[in-house]
Amino acid sequence: MSVAEHAPRAVIDHAARRRTRIVGAILILIAAFIVVVLGDAPSQATFRLSRPRDAWVLPNLVVPAQPFIYVAAALTAFLGVRQFLRGGGRWTTLSLGLGLGLAVLAFLVWATAENAFSLTGMLQATMVRAVPIALGGLAALMCERVAVVNIAVEGMLLAGAFTGALMGSVIGGWGGLLSAVVIGGLFGFILAALVVTYRMDQIIAGVVINLFVLGLTSFVSSQVFAEMRHLNNAPVFPALKIPILGDIPVIGPMLFQQNIFVYGALIMVGVSTYYLFHTRNGLRARAVGEHPRAADTLGIDVYWTRYVHVTIGGMIAGFGGAWFTLGSVGRFDENMTGGRGYIGLAAMIFGRWHPVGALMAALVFGFTDSLQQKLALLNTPIPSEFLAMAPYIATIIVVAGLIGRARAPAADGKPYVKE
Amino acid sequence: MSVNDTLDSAKEQLLRRAAPGRAQFEDLVIVPLFAVAVALMLGALIMLATGIDLPTVGRSFIALLAGSVGSLGALSETLVAAVPLVLAALGLALGFRTGLFNIGAEGQILMGGLAAVIFGFTFDGLPFAILMPLSLLAGMLVGAFYAGIAGWLRAATGAHEVISTIMLNLISYRLLDYMLRLDWVQREGRSDPISRSVPEAAELPRLLEWLDPNLRMHAGVFVMIAAVIVVHWLLFRAKLGFEFRASGASPDAARYAGIRAGLIIVLAMATAGALAGLAGANQVLGVLGRASPGFSAGIGFDAIAVALLGRSHPVGVLFAGLLFGALEAGGRQMQVDAGVSIDLIGIIQALIIVFIAAPLLVRALFPWGFRAASKGDAE
């Protein structure tokens, strides 16, 4: 980083400059969009910060709609123009993030104008919807840090969801959860075997696992669950309110009135951050991801490290998959993960291969997801399909804007052949 | 050995697996045969494990055979299922050869198919000789454009095509749902998302209707064969194809040789998208007659498997597509005759690819099938 910043100015990175300009153009487009589409918001938007039965009740937040929207547009346009004049470096990413954030806020104010909107409820839903994406991203991250690309997250989530429903119905919630974790780990182990021992192309192996799990779970669900419904009727983990913290306004319901999947995801993000960046084994794992031959020379068993971490990644994905059934509806449906694993993968890249970053990215996806649900209630003139597209378009924009600066583990996707 | 050498050799191995230059007899014939046989056996085991009795397993395999090649009708169904798979897989194979992993065929099929339908009913009244080819062309162009977005993003900003094509797939589902509800697209008098019908002059004619009106085989079969020939020529005889393959084999060498990497990426993605769009147009003009939500029915994902199974070679893709088409058609018969869900076919397909893509695994399982090769490995 510091080396690049001190490099002579004569060395021009064309890709970086083009990225800077593209981000600038995108920001100006966003500003134009805010003014043209959202400009004529009539009165004011009311955001409810508490629910009537909360311990501490905060007053409603009232925002004058039109001034707020114009200020947001002006700020975004400023950031965009700045990109052309003296942009680059860290500002590219930061500006893009700020611009998108402002656009979302302006949109929220516009959609809520003359209406009231429960911010607390939406943040709570955001957290819940972020969980499978964050866990999927974390699972992929554990694999990519040891240089195994894990497209199979989608299949592992689906396998976890299926196992959670089946075993949850047979032996109860905790048994179902444990089984889901074990099955997720099993698929992680299979992926590791295919790519480490049998040196199969990592992306092909991932695609195959996805196909296989989709086929198997759909087959069993149409062949067995259709007739024996009691096998697909698992208990759902209830929300647990943490005594004092749960009463904090706004943040309390979001973080401390949730079920074990939310707490599990938060804890895992913390633990994996500590593990990867502050322990000896974590350092070794990252060494395997960056330069396996050097790691091997130092006596680290590259194959073993990859097996262990990919299996752990699978277990995390299995836990995340169980959320779909044990953490939400208690019933398995064909292909119920619906691409969340892929979005998790995007969250990992978006989050720059860092657990906390992946969680933040997952929260962004969860936010747009729940926003789309809530906006259906507010009767906005924008078709719901476009709202549903928004997170994916945002992902493309972000990946296009960021990827040059986010760096994958150096050996990512490459098989290692011990000499 | 320097770091770069190590990386290059690792990459070479990867690419050789995805797109081998001159595969040996064993790789081309024995491994696929073993793969299919083992996958079918494992499929039988899965059926037994889910409580299906042995006679039913036997009946379902007979139905699988009868439904795929057992009669003229079965052959016709096999071809109908194979056409879009082969077309989309040709595009993906071309991408693999260029070093691009395009997961977006599904979205490109949807967008291309929708464009073909819209073009067809908008210009209703034109004669068949003009309307049908132009509708196909509309599908190709829109498919090419949709894939080109991902290609351009990759070339201009380095955004990985796996992520961007996945996102474009997810966007395409919503865009299709939205378009199907527009006044000028939606069928009159319907409230569900479904498009107007394609006029007869835009439809791919059915070839065997004179024998039996139920035979669905349509002129898309000729499109498929033509596409195989054109892609083969493009990849192995044309300068552009050489540039595709050179960029895939060694991006650095290609760049030093004066090949414009960014342009090649965009062109390769667009060509792949054109073929996927053609597959979508084939589906709506030859089979469905209209567009409805999710009409691609997973063809874009199955096509990834077909391209891998065909080793990214046009002729291999043709055979792999025919095999998958046969499994698809036979699977439907199996569902009717033996009451076994067609989802089993998905499992069998996945298993086939595992064994194809991991030859080391097949060799470990069946060492006696590879006498010469195992000697080579032992050295």
pLDDT greater than 80 at residue B39: yes
Longest dimension (CA), chain B: 72
Interface of A with B in 74-113 (CB under 8 A): none
**CB-based contact B163 A349, cutoff 8 Å:** yes
ipTM associated with this complex: 0.79
**Per-residue pLDDT of chain A in tens (419 residues, 90 and over written 9):** 344 444 444 445 666 777 788 888 888 888 888 888 777 766 777 777 777 666 677 777 777 878 888 888 888 888 888 888 876 667 777 788 788 888 888 888 887 777 777 778 888 888 888 999 999 999 999 999 998 988 899 999 999 999 999 999 998 889 999 999 999 999 999 999 989 988 888 878 888 898 889 889 998 888 888 888 888 888 888 888 888 777 777 777 778 878 889 999 999 999 999 999 999 999 999 999 888 888 888 888 999 999 999 999 999 999 999 999 998 888 898 888 888 888 898 888 878 889 998 998 899 888 877 877 777 676 667 777 787 787 788 778 777 766 555 567 777 777 788 77
CA A207 – CA A195 distance, rounded (Å): 12
Smallest CA–CA distance, residue B158 to chain A, in Å, is 7
Is A413:A203 a contact under the CB 8 Å cutoff?
yes
Q: Inspect the interface and report whether the beta carbons of A208 and B357 lie closer than 8 Å.
A: yes
DSSP string of B302-367, one letter each residue: HHHHHHHHTTT-HHHHHHHHHHHHHHHHHHHHHHHHH---THHHHHHHHHHHHHHH-HHHHHHH-G
Disruptive mutation site among A154, A214, A291, A385 for chain B (greatest number of B CBs within 10 Å): A385
Residue A385 and residue B177: Cβ atoms within 8 Å? yes
CB contact under 8 A, B164 and A396: yes
Name the token pair of A175: 């048994």
Select the residue of A215, A220, A400 nearest B50 (Cβ to Cβ).
A220
**CB distance B305–A19 less than 8 Å?**
no
Best residue in A13, A153, A223 for a mutation probing chain B (most B CBs within 10 Å): A223
What is the DSSP annotation of A234-288? ---PPPEE-TTGGGSTTHHHHHHEE-HHHHHHHHHHHHHHHHHHHSHHHHHHHHH
- What is the 8-class DSSP label of residue A416? -
The minimum CA-CA distance between B377 and chain A, rounded to whole Å, is 13
Asked if the C-beta of B7 comes within 8 angstroms of chain A's C-beta atoms, the answer is yes
Mean pLDDT of chain B: 84
Side chain identity, residue B151: G
**Closest-CA distance of chain A to residue B54, Å:** 16
**The pLDDT of residue A180:** 95
Residue B2: the pLDDT is 45
The C-alpha of A267 sits at a distance from chain B's nearest C-alpha, in angstroms, of 27
The answer to whether the Cβ–Cβ distance between B347 and A212 falls below 8 Å is yes
Compute the C-alpha angle B110/B114/B117, nearest 5°.
145
- Closest-approach residue (CA) in chain A for B351: A212
Q: Which residue has the higher pLDDT, A389 or B319?
A: B319
Q: How far is A48 from chain B (nearest CA, A)?
A: 31
Query: CA A151 to CA A309: how far, in whole Å?
Result: 15
For residue A44, give the H/E element and its range.
Answer: strand A44-48
The distance of A113 to chain B (nearest Cα, Å) reads 25
- Residues of chain B found within 8 Å of residue A389, distances taken between Cβ atoms: 170-171, 174-175
**What is the average per-residue pLDDT within B129-155?**
93
Contact of A18 with chain B, judged by CB distance below 8 Å, is answered with yes
CA distance A161 to A152: 14
Amino acid at B97: R
Q: Do A207 and B166 touch (CB under 8 A)?
A: no
Rounded alpha-carbon distances, angstroms, from residue B353 to B95, B100, B280, B323, B329: 18, 19, 24, 12, 19
pLDDT at B266 (0 to 100):
93
